[in-house]
C-alpha cells in the first residue's frame, strides 16, 4: 500500500512523501487517532538541534506520542477498531542485561526512524499496547510520556534503598508533573515534595505534600531520594541543589535532557555516597504498567487532563504547522493533534 | 452499510505490455489497482469492496488481490460495463442483490488509478454522503479555466475562485443514486457520464469534499512516471 508520510524536511518545513508498505507481511496497521508533541519534536521543528543532527536525521516524520486504532492485524492479536498505543521504541534484538530502550541497535520513532505523522503506521503487533476506551483520548495521546515516568520509577525501585519516606521531584513542567503523580500512586505513604521555578506551575501540583520555589528558604528540607525533571540550562542548578538537600545514600534519578555538559558537585556525591542514575525513554513493559496504573486509579487520567493544552484538528500540513507553533509558545501542558489528515 | 466500488473498467483487454490496462501497470512492487484496493480495504468504515473490471480480467484481478489481501469475504471482483455509467449500474445492481438497498446504504465509488487517496478523503466522503446524499472530491483549480464553445476561440473565462477540479471518490446514498439514475432517458445516459453531474442536473445537492493535489489519476505514461518518482523519492529518503 502507498502510505502518506509527513516528514520534516528541514526545520519549519513539512512535506508529504509516499512509502510503499506490504500488507502481506507480519506487521499490523494502525491509524493514529490523536498524537502529542514532545519537546524533542519541538527541538527538531524549531531547528534547536545541532546542525549535524539535523543534517543526519532529516527528512524524518516527527512525533512518537500517539494513541491509535487498529485497522489490520495479520497476527489476529488485535481486532480492527481496537484502541492501542504504539511503542515508538523498536528493538532489533533482546538482551538479558540491557533494557530495550538502552540498546544502541534499537530504532526509535522520530529519532532514528520515521515518527507517527503518517496516514497509517505499520508496526509489529507485539509493539502495540491495548488502551482502555474509557481513558480520555487526549490523555491517551501522551501515554508515552507517562511510560517514561514509569520507567524512571521502576529503575528507582531497582536502585534505591528501602527508606522512601521523603521523595522530591525537581521540575514543574510536564515530566515533573507526571513523575510526581506516578510516585504519588506507587508510593502512597511517602511524603512527596516538588521543587520548581514558576509559582503558577507549582500551584498545579495539588496532589503533592508541598510545592516549593527553588529560590525560597528550603535549605532545611531533606529528601531520601530525588528525581530531576528539569533539563536544559537549569540542569546544573537543579542537580546541585538536589545533591545539597538529599540525605546520605540517597538516589538521584536524572530525567532532564541537556544539550550541553552539566558540572556536578562530585565531592558531595562522594561524601554522601549517592547513587546517581540516568533514565531515558521507556520500553514496552513501562507502557503496560503506565496503562495499568491509569486503569487501576481513574484519578490519574483525571489529573492528567490538566496537562491537555491546545487540541488542534489536523486536516492539512498547515494545521501541523499551527500545532507546532502553538507548542513553541507553551510553557506547560501538551499540544494534542486530532488526526483527521 | 458502506460499500466501496473500485472502477477498473479501463480499456484494453489483451496481455502484453502496451495493451495492459493502465490500472494493472506496476507502481513500486504492485499493480496500481492493488495499491488502490488496499487503501479502501484498510478503511474501517468500509464493510465491503467490489472491484469492477473488464470481464476477461476478473481472474487475474482476483489473483493479484489475493497476494496482498486476506480472503475474508470483504472483497469481490465482478465485471464492469462498456461505459462508466454501465459500470456504475453494475455496481448498484451488485449491492442491491448482495446486501439490499437500505435508505442509508452508502456507495463510495473510486477510480482504480488513484492509489494516493487518503484515509481522510474516504472518511469525509462517507460523512458527506450520509449528510447530503451525494458528494464529489475536488481540489481548487490552480490554473485559469477557459471555455471554448467552438474549440477555436475563448467563449468565456469563468472566475477561478469558483472553479474546482474533480477527483474521486464520488460517494452517494445508493438508493437515491439508483432512483436518480433510473430517471434518466437513454439519450441522457449517453451524454451524462458523471454521476455527480446527474445529481446536480436533477436538482439534488452534491457536497464538495476537499481532495489532495497528489490524489492524481494515472491516465497517461507521464502520470505513471510522476507516481513512480514520488515512490522512488521515498526510497531514496530511507
What integer is the mean pLDDT of A265-289?
97
pLDDT digit string (tens) for A61-110?
999 999 999 999 999 999 999 999 999 999 999 999 999 999 999 999 99
Distance of alpha carbon A307 from alpha carbon A302, whole angstroms = 10
CA–CA min distance B48, chain A (Å): 14
Closest CA to B68 of B49, B54, B82: B49
Question: CB-side exposure of B43: number of CA atoms within 13 Å?
Answer: 24
Q: What does the pLDDT read at residue B236? A: 46
Nearest residue on chain B to A29, alpha-carbon basis: B42
Is the pLDDT at B12 greater than 60? The verdict is no
CATH 3.40.50.720 given to domain A147-278: yes
Q: How many pairs of residues across A and B have Cβ atoms under 8 Å apart?
A: 71
- Closest partner residue to A119 (CB to CB) among B30, B119, B210 is B119
Residues sharing a CB contact under 8 Å with residue B93, sequence separation 6 or more, in sequence order? none
A80 and chain B: CB distance < 8 Å anywhere? yes
Predicted local distance difference test score (pLDDT) of residue B237: 44
Interface of chain B toward chain A, CB-CB under 8 angstroms: 27-30, 35, 38-39, 41-44, 67-70, 115-116, 118-120, 123, 210, 214, 230-231, 233-235, 237-238
Q: How far apart are CA B43 and CA B46, in angstroms?
A: 6
Helix (H) or strand (E) holding B184: none
The CATH superfamily of B2-138+166-237 is Spore Coat Polysaccharide Biosynthesis Protein SpsA; Chain A (3.90.550.10)
Whether residue B6 is predicted with pLDDT greater than 60 in this model: the reply is: yes
Question: Residue A123: its chain B contacts at CB < 8 A?
Answer: none
C-alpha cell at A285: 513493559
**Looking at residue B231, what is its pLDDT?**
85
Task: Say how far apart CA A83 and CA A131 lie, in whole Å.
Answer: 5
For residue A44, give the C-alpha cell.
Answer: 527538531
The beta-carbon neighbor of A59 closest among B28, B29, B237 is B237
Residue A22 at interface with chain B, using a CB cutoff of 8 Å: yes
Q: ipTM, 2 decimals?
A: 0.84
Listed by start position, the domains of chain A span: 2-144+282-339, 147-278
User: What is the Rg, in whole angstroms, of the alpha carbon atoms belonging to chain B?
Assistant: 18
Alpha helices, DSSP H only, in chain A? 39-45, 51-57, 137-140, 143-159, 174-186, 199-202, 235-245, 266-272, 284-296, 299-304, 317-328
pLDDT digits (tens, 9 = 90+) for A114-125: 999 999 999 999
Judge whether residue B137 has pLDDT over 80: yes
- Which residue matches cell numbers 502496451? B18
Nearest to A176 by CA among A215, A204, A199: A204
Report residue B197: phi and psi, to 5°: -65, -40
Helices marked H in chain B: 32-42, 58-68, 84-99, 119-132, 174-182, 186-191, 195-201, 221-237
CA-derived radius of gyration, chain A: 20
Per the prediction, chain B carries an average pLDDT of: 90
Query: With 60 as the cut, is the pLDDT of residue A168 above it?
Result: yes
Asked if B237 and A17 come within 8 Å (Cβ–Cβ), the reply is yes
Domain ranges of chain B: 2-138+166-237
How do residues A263-272 score in pLDDT, each as one tens digit? 999 999 999 9
Contact B119 A120 (CB under 8 A): yes
Sort out which chain B residues have CB atoms less than 8 A from A319's CB and list them: none
List Cα–Cα distances, A137 to A110, A193, A338, B45, in angstroms: 21, 29, 9, 20
The grid coordinates listed for B155 are 467563449
Distance CA B135, CA B120 (A): 14
Which positions ≥6 away from A119 have C-beta within 8 Å?
A3, A4, A5, A31, A341, B118, B119
What is the pTM assigned to this prediction? Answer: 0.90
In this model, does residue A154 exceed pLDDT 50? yes
- Residue B22 pLDDT greater than 90, yes or no: no
Closest Cα partner for A61 from A105, A129, A120? A120
3 state SS for B33-70:
HHHHHHHHHHCCCCCEEEEEECHHHHHHHHHHHHHHCC
CB contact under 8 A, B42 and A29: yes
Give the nearest chain B residue to A32 (CA atoms).
B119
Whether A132 contacts chain B with CB within 8 A = no
CA within 13 Å, CB half, B25: 22
CATH architecture of A2-144+282-339: Alpha-Beta Complex (3.90)
Helix (H, G, I), strand (E, B) or coil at A281: coil
Q: What is the DSSP string of A77-111?
A: SS-TT-EEEE-SEE-SS--SSS-TTT-TT-EEBTT
Angstrom distance (rounded) from CA B141 to CA A30: 33
Please tell me the least confidently modeled range out of A69-78, A177-186, B180-189: B180-189
* Residue B171, min C-alpha distance to chain A (Å): 19
Query: Using the beta-carbon criterion (under 8 Å), do A17 and B44 form an inter-chain contact?
Result: no
Q: Give the pLDDT confidence of B96-120 residue by residue, as tens digits.
A: 999 999 999 999 999 999 999 999 9
Q: Which residue of A has its CA nearest to B43?
A: A71
Diameter over CA atoms, chain A = 64
Contacts of A5 (CB under 8 A, 6+ apart): A16, A17, A18, A19, A61, A114, A117, A118, A119, B234
Distance between CA A145 and CA A36 in Å, rounded?
10
With H, G, I as helix, E, B as strand and everything else as coil, classify residue A314: strand
List Cβ neighbours of B143 (8 Å cut-off, separation of 6 or more): none
Return the residue of B nearest to A81 by Cα: B44
Taking the C-alpha atoms of residue A269 and residue A290, their distance in angstroms, rounded to an integer, is: 31
Which of B119, B213, B231 is the best residue to mutate to test the A interface, defined by the most A CB atoms within 10 Å of its own CB? B119
Q: Indicate whether B14 pLDDT > 70.
A: no
Q: How far is A183 from chain B (nearest CA, A)?
A: 39
Maximum C-alpha span of chain B: 55
Total length of chain A: 341
Between A290 and B221, the more confident residue is A290
Which of residues 159 through 198 in chain A touch B, CB cutoff 8 A? none
Amino acid at each position: 500500500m502507498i502510505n502518506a508520510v509527513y516528514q520534516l524536511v528541514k526545520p519549519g518545513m513539512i512535506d508529504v512523501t509516499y512509502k510503499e508498505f506490504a500488507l502481506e507481511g507480519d506487521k499490523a496497521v494502525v491509524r493514529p487517532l490523536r498524537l502529542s508533541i514532545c519537546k524533542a519534536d519541538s527541538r527538531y521543528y524549531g531547528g534547536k538541534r545541532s546542525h549535524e543532527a539535523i543534517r543526519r536525521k532529516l527528512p524524518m516524520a516527527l512525533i512518537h506520542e500517539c494513541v491509535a486504532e487498529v485497522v489490520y492485524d495479520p497476527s489476529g492479536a488485535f481486532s480492527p477498531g481496537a484502541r492501542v498505543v504504539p511503542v515508538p521504541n523498536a528493538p532489533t534484538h533482546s538482551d538479558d542485561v540491557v533494557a530495550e530502550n538502552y540498546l544502541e541497535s534499537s530504532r526509535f520513532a522520530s529519532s532514528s526512524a520515521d515518527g507517527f505523522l503518517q496516514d497509517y503506521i505499520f508496526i509489529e503487533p507485539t509493539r502495540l499496547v491495548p488502551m482502555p476506551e474509557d481513558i480520555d483520548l487526549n490523555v491517551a495521546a501522551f501515554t508515552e510520556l507517562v511510560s517514561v515516568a514509569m520507567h524512571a520509577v521502576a529503575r528507582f525501585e531497582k536502585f534505591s534503598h528501602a527508606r522512601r519516606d521523603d521523595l522530591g521531584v525537581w521540575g514543574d513542567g510536564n515530566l515533573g508533573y507526571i513523575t510526581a503523580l506516578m510516585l504519588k500512586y506507587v508510593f502512597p505513604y511517602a511524603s512527596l515534595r516538588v521543587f520548581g521555578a514558576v509559582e503558577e506551575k507549582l500551584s498545579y501540583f495539588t496532589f503533592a505534600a508541598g510545592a516549593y520555589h527553588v529560590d525560597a528558604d528550603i535549605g532545611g528540607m531533606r529528601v531520601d531520594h530525588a528525581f530531576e525533571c528539569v533539563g536544559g540550562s537549569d540542569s546544573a542548578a537543579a542537580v546541585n541543589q538536589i545533591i545539597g538537600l538529599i540525605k546520605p545514600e540517597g538516589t538521584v534519578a536524572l530525567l532532564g535532557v541537556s544539550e550541553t555538559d552539566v558540572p556536578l558537585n562530585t565531592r558531595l556525591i562522594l561524601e554522601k555516597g549517592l547513587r546517581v542514575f540516568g533514565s531515558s525513554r521507556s520500553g514496552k513493559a513501562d507502557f503496560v504498567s503506565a496503562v495499568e496504573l491509569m486503569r487501576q486509579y481513574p484519578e490519574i487520567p483525571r489529573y492528567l487532563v490538566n496537562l491537555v493544552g491546545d487540541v488542534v484538528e489536523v486536516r492539512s500540513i498547515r494545521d501541523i504547522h499551527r500545532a507546532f507553533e502553538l507548542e513553541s509558545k507553551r510553557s506547560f501542558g501538551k499540544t494534542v493533534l486530532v488526526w483527521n489528515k | 452499510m458502506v460499500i466501496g466500488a473500485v472502477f477498473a473498467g479501463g480499456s484494453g483487454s489483451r496481455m502484453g505490455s502496451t495493451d495492459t490496462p493502465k490500472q494493472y501497470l506496476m507502481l513500486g512492487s504492485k499493480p496500481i489497482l492493488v495499491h488502490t484496493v488496499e487503501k479502501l480495504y484498510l478503511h474501517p468504515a468500509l464493510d465491503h469492496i467490489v472491484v469492477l473490471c473488464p470481464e476477461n480480467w476478473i481472474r487475474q484481478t482476483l489473483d493479484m488481490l489475493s497476494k496482498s489481501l486476506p480472503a475474508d469475504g470483504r472483497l469481490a471482483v465482478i465485471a464492469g460495463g462498456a461505459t462508466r455509467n454501465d459500470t456504475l449500474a453494475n455496481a448498484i445492481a451488485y449491492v442491491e442483490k448482495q446486501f439490499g438497498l437500505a435508505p442509508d446504504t452508502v456507495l463510495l465509488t473510486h477510480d482504480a488509478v488513484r492509489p494516493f487517496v487518503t484515509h481522510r478523503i474516504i472518511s469525509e466522503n462517507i460523512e458527506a454522503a450520509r449528510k447530503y446524499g451525494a458528494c464529489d472530491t475536488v481540489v481548487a483549480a490552480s490554473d485559469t479555466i477557459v471555455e471554448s464553445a467552438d474549440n477555436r476561440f475563448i467563449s468565456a473565462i469563468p472566475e477561478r475562485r469558483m472553479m474546482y477540479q474533480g477527483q474521486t471518490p464520488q460517494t452517494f446514498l445508493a438508493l437515491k443514486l439508483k432512483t436518480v439514475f433510473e430517471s434518466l432517458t437513454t439519450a441522457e445516459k449517453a451524454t451524462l457520464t458523471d454521476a455527480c453531474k446527474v445529481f446536480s442536473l436533477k436538482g439534488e445537492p452534491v457536497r464538495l469534499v476537499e481532495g489532495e493535489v497528489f490524489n492524481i489519476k494515472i491516465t497517461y505514461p507521464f502520470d505513471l512516471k510522476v507516481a513512480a518518482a514520488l515512490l522512488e523519492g521515498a526510497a531514496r529518503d530511507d
